[in-house]
Amino acid sequence: MADESGLEGRLADLASSGQRYAAPQVAEQVRARGDRRRRRKRAARASGGVVMAAALAMGVLSVTRLGPEAVPSAAKPTAAASVSLFVPPTPAPGEEYASELGFVYHAVSLKQNMVQVTVAQVRTGNGVAVPTGVVHKVTLKPETPVEVEHVAGGEARDMRVSELVDRLRTGPQWVFALDYDGEGRVQSLREAHWLTTD
Same domain, 100 and 47: no
Are residue 20 and residue 91 in the same domain, yes or no?
Answer: no
Tally of domains in the chain:
2
CB 143 within 8 A of CB 158: no
Same domain, 140 and 186: yes
Please say which residue of 29, 45, 68 terminates a domain. 68
**Max mean pLDDT range (21-35, 36-50, 73-87, 166-180):** 166-180
Nearest to 117 by CA among 149, 77, 165: 165
Contact call for residues 98 and 81 (beta carbons, < 8 A):
no
Does 74 map to a domain? no
If asked whether residues 15 and 102 sit together in one domain, one would say no
Same domain, 14 and 43: yes
* pTM greater than 0.75 (yes/no): no
Residues spanned by the domain of 50: 2-68
On whether both 111 and 136 belong to a single domain, the answer is yes
Among 44, 68, 92, the domain-final residue is: 68
Establish if 163 belongs to a structural domain: yes
The whole-chain average pLDDT of the chain stands at 77
Beta-carbon contacts of 103 under 8 Å, excluding residues fewer than 6 positions away, are 119, 120, 122, 129, 131, 172, 173, 174, 175, 176, 197
Q: Are 121 and 160 part of one and the same domain? A: yes
Is residue 73 domain-resident?
Answer: no
Return all residues near 62 (Cβ < 8 A) that are at least 6 apart.
Answer: none
By mean pLDDT, which of 38-42, 86-90, 99-103, 113-117 is the weakest? 38-42
pLDDT of residue 179: 95
Is position 140 within any domain? yes
78 pLDDT band, cuts 50/70/90, is very low
- Same domain (yes/no): 189, 133: yes
Whether 60 and 110 map to the same domain: the answer is no
Q: Is the pLDDT of residue 40 over 50?
A: yes
**Could you tell me if residue 117 is inside a domain?**
yes
Do 29 and 108 have their domain in common? no
How far is the C-alpha of 135 from the C-alpha of 84, rounded, in Å?
9
Tell me if 185 is assigned to some domain: yes
Distance of CA 188 to the CA centre of its chain: 27
Q: In terms of domains, do 101 and 186 share one?
A: yes
For residues 92 and 153, membership in a common domain is answered with yes
Q: Which pLDDT value is given to residue 81?
A: 44
Q: Is residue 119 part of a domain?
A: yes
In a domain, 141, yes or no: yes
Choosing from 39, 68, 97, the residue where a domain stops is 68
Q: What pLDDT, on a 0 to 100 scale, did the predictor assign at position 83?
A: 46
